[in-house]
Amino acid sequence: MFKRLLILPYFLLVLASFTTQAVEISTHSQIEKPKLQIAILAYRDKLSTAQRWQPLLSYLQNEIPTHTFSLNIYYHLELEKAVEKQQVDFVLTHPSHYVLLTHRNGLSSPLASLINQEGATPTDQFGGVAFALANRNDINQWKDLKNKTIAAIATTSTGAYQMQAFELLQRGIRLPDDANVIEMGQPQSLAVNAVLNQQADVGFVRTGVLESLSDSGYFDMQQIKIINATHPSNFPFVTSTRLYPEWPFAAMPHVNKDVTRRVAATLLAIESGSDLAQSMQISGFTIPGDYRIFDEMMRQLRMKPFAQTQYFDLRDVMQRWWFELGLVSSLTISILLFFIVLLLIRNRTIKQAKHTIEQSMQKIRQLSLVVEQSPEGIMITDTQGRIEYMNPAYETITGYTLNELSGKNPSVLRSLDTPKIIFKQMWDNLSQGKHWRGEIINKRKSGEIYPSDNIISPVKNSKGQTSHFLAIHKDTSTIKNHQQRIQSLLYFDQVTGLPNRTQLIETMDKLLNQKSSLGAVAGLILINVDHFKLINEIHGSYSGDALLKAMAERLSDFVKDSGFVARSGGDEFAVLSYRAEHIVDCESCIIGLEQTLLEEIEKPYIIGGERFAITCSIGASFLGREEAEQVSEDILTLTISHANTALKQVKESGGHGWKLFHKNMSEIARHQHQIESELRLAIERNQLKLFLQPQVNSRGEFIGAEALVRWQHPEKGLLSPGEFIAIAERTDLIIELGHWVLNQACLEIDKAQQQGLSISISVNISPRHFRQANFVDEIKTLLNRHPLTSCRLVLEITEGLFIENIEEVSSKINPLKKLGLEFSIDDFGTGYSSLSYLQQLEIDELKIDRSFIETLEKTAVTDSLVETIYTVANKMHLRVVAEGVETEHQVQQLQKLGELIYQGYYYGKPDEADHWLERWK
């Protein structure tokens, strides 16, 4: 790699012809097409960098002819200014610089990572190397670098400084505070010279530099030793640090997303070892690595853009203010010693004075102990109401001291919230020599209003005359707050502030009992947010709660005084809409309200500066007395049940809609329950049949099949999966059904092998089935009964599994892979997973969903997502199955891609397993 950094003097003359602006190389300038600017950081001179990447420009122009591409070569500061002014569209730079640009200008997530060609070895990683002279016995590990002189090209270099500095920081050594760092500048051989000439104790370079210099005869590797030398597998060089992802290729935020995806797919399609890759001295591009480690590394090293964030640990404080801390400590100790001596000198005098005071106060303490320590506030006034005494508790409650209120009337504590009649009753009692007890709303010194419970009694002298008034004062604000809190918890939702389900039911009951006439008196509307769980998982519970609050406010504004809004569940709201007296047709009213309510609640929300577009499902029913003898409790239960039934039907239909309950819905629910009961018996009585649909290769040869199930109902005949699979999915019946299909598929594979045939059969595994704790053991037991089938059995799983718990999925796939099973992702492209899951899981096959295949009737394969999915799968060495192939035109389009597996009616409909096997033979 280092050889490529050495620039001939000839290029220095050419470099003078460049201005401080970027070198721009344009193609197709004669055609008026949208122009895309590609910016590349030059770590050598601009001319050689432009010549190196010119083939990439030509390649992109050829593969994406709808746009014109220009190549711009920049140095660090030039590239930062160009990105800040949005003069470029795509950026290729080193990882630390990418983090800086992303923090300042919001670049996209990396579209691809560079794969360098290091000799005969391609690698998408690099690391940092720390080295010293071989005879330096005092430098053997990272901790030995403290207080040494270190040579590096620049502190902004990722592989030649920051990686090594990060390793040192993990061991308590911070650069440049704990060592003398010399910035040598480019090329990196200058750092090597500094160590060889003993100008520095240690040198920092990027991986591969030392090997390149040694191969060129620049120096002998025996002269140096590598600090913390490691030899990672599949990496050609020795490294001192961990390995990090190579240069990322990213897009500016203003670039169209479709264009971004096309450019990413084009980069990933560059074949390793091709003439194009060799001309650029690389091996191609790969799926982007994890660059978050660079963010953390730069943050801890306090590099830009985090250099302005100043924080100090104890060690920084000690280094910065050691003199001041020592001075303060000395003064503190001196002062303490002075007071100790002073106290010792005066100790005898103090003891004598204390003894005298204690004797004088003993009687007073005995008399006032109960009053002083009373947790209740106690006040004494004269007969005119002037305050003479307040105990500490009273001072604490009111915020006033006795000095502040002495001689004043207690009326200074009153608020205007206490009715005047209360004070009249109080003085009537006291004037008659009776005590009075009641609640007064007072005001503290801070202005805070609080409730208090008071007992006021006249104090009489030996003659029976009232000489004072004694008031016992108790602050009841805490008790009332607790009562209000309990009331809030019982009747209000703590996230949205709306009434909860309990208050909703009480309101429905009151409304029902207030109406004497029969018929519908209100409509209950249940609103459920579709896929709310994904919002919490992707954006966090804070955003989810904020969205619920915004929905609550919008619902309350929409309904206003014409109804009652509550939060009835986690992601569910309820609207109780009152029927106006003049409205006779309550059904029309509710239907109209559902439609407008759905439109209103689905308008986009802005949460934390981010736009949220949601869909909702609505189910409604009527609240009313259909039969006069029904009790309220039965009516409420039935109303909520009906609304839930309507809502459930909307959810099962895909959501984003509304339904008003009708009696036939109950019939549907009963029918589904009947299907569920009969299906349970069908499994026990062996009424199921295994069907197979063929899979063929690009030459039309049968290579396998997908297992499907049919139900031979004794009365209704042969039933398709659409009539019972969805019902089974809602219960554990889908597990029994899946086990039956797996066993039958293994039997068919056994039959084929006994007849000398080799076929593979794919079985779709339900998410509920896959999540079972004993799933792996179940498959192992099955393979023990059919030991020859494992290498021909393919398990199809859906993308929805990945987003919930990738670790759990991986823990089940890995042991089954070791037994010879293969895994396929069904309906790929319609779920929520990302490419990172494909890297973490040992997947063998992707099945492109039929919805993408159907688009080929109107769209060329090169302009569809089918080509992108195929390119990604091919890059990751995965088989690709095209589902739902039904026409000759679709076949012709798919054949343009290369090697595919086809499945669909064009090649054969599902048939009984025995018939299919005979046709296969």
**pLDDT tens digits, one per residue of 685-726:** 888 899 999 999 988 888 889 999 998 888 888 888 877 777
Determine the pLDDT at residue 916. 81
Confidence of residue 8 (pLDDT cuts 50, 70, 90): very low
Determine the pLDDT at residue 519. 46
Mean pLDDT of 799-823: 83
**Do 552 and 573 contact (CB within 8 A), yes or no?**
yes
Distances (CA, A) of 850 to 263, 316, 799: 25, 62, 15
Cα four-point dihedral sign 160, 166, 171, 177: positive
Determine the pLDDT at residue 404. 87
Which of 76-80, 143-147, 245-249, 346-350 is predicted least confidently?
346-350
- Smallest Cα–Cα separation from 79: which of 114, 107, 51? 107
Percent of the chain with pLDDT over 90: 28
Distances (CA, A) of 761 to 692, 746, 812, 893, 913: 8, 8, 20, 26, 11
**Do 149 and 136 contact (CB within 8 A), yes or no?**
no
Confidence of residue 576 (pLDDT cuts 50, 70, 90): confident
Specify the DSSP class assigned to residue 110: P
Report the residue count for the chain.
921
**Do 124 and 116 contact (CB within 8 A), yes or no?**
yes
Which of 40-44, 63-67, 829-833 is predicted least confidently?
829-833
Determine the pLDDT at residue 628. 39
- Smallest Cα–Cα separation from 901: which of 705, 752, 765? 705
Render the burial of 588-600: b for 16+ CB within 10 Å, e for the rest: ebbeebbeebbee
Confidence of residue 15 (pLDDT cuts 50, 70, 90): very low
- Whole-number Å distance between alpha carbons of 762 and 794: 4
Contacts of 84 (CB under 8 A, 6+ apart): 104, 105
Confidence of residue 629 (pLDDT cuts 50, 70, 90): very low
Mean pLDDT of 247-273: 91
Determine the pLDDT at residue 882. 92
Percent of the chain with pLDDT over 70: 86
Mean pLDDT of 131-137: 94
Query: Is residue 22 predicted with pLDDT exceeding 80?
Result: no
Quick: pLDDT tens for 746-798.
Answer: 988 888 888 888 888 999 998 889 888 899 999 999 988 887 666 689 999 88
Determine the pLDDT at residue 16. 32
Q: Which helix (H) or strand (E) holds 95?
A: helix 95-105
Confidence of residue 515 (pLDDT cuts 50, 70, 90): low
Q: SS3 of 67, please?
A: coil
Range picked from 299-303, 594-598, 668-672 for highest mean pLDDT: 299-303
Residue type, 709: V
Determine the pLDDT at residue 706. 93
Determine the pLDDT at residue 491. 83
- Check residues 845 and 433 and name the one with the higher pLDDT: 845
Q: Where are the alpha helices (DSSP H) in 467-611?
A: 477-491, 501-514, 532-539, 541-559, 586-601
- Check residues 33 and 364 and name the one with the higher pLDDT: 33
Contacts of 901 (CB under 8 A, 6+ apart): 695, 696, 697, 703, 704, 845, 879, 880, 881, 882
**Do 41 and 79 contact (CB within 8 A), yes or no?**
yes
Say what angle helices 257-268 and 865-875 make with each other, to 10 degrees.
30
Would the pTM count as exceeding 0.95? no
Q: Which helix (H) or strand (E) holds 192?
A: helix 189-196
Which of 42-46, 204-208, 768-772 is predicted least confidently?
42-46
- Whole-number Å distance between alpha carbons of 356 and 354: 5
Quick: pLDDT tens for 517-575.
Answer: 444 567 888 999 988 888 888 888 888 899 999 999 998 888 887 788 999 888 899 99
Determine the pLDDT at residue 178. 92
Strand order, beta sheet including 224-226? 180-183, 149-152, 202-206, 128-133, 224-226
Which of 289-303, 385-399, 553-567, 782-796 is predicted least confidently?
782-796
Mean pLDDT of 414-418: 80
- Check residues 479 and 803 and name the one with the higher pLDDT: 479
- Whole-number Å distance between alpha carbons of 857 and 345: 105
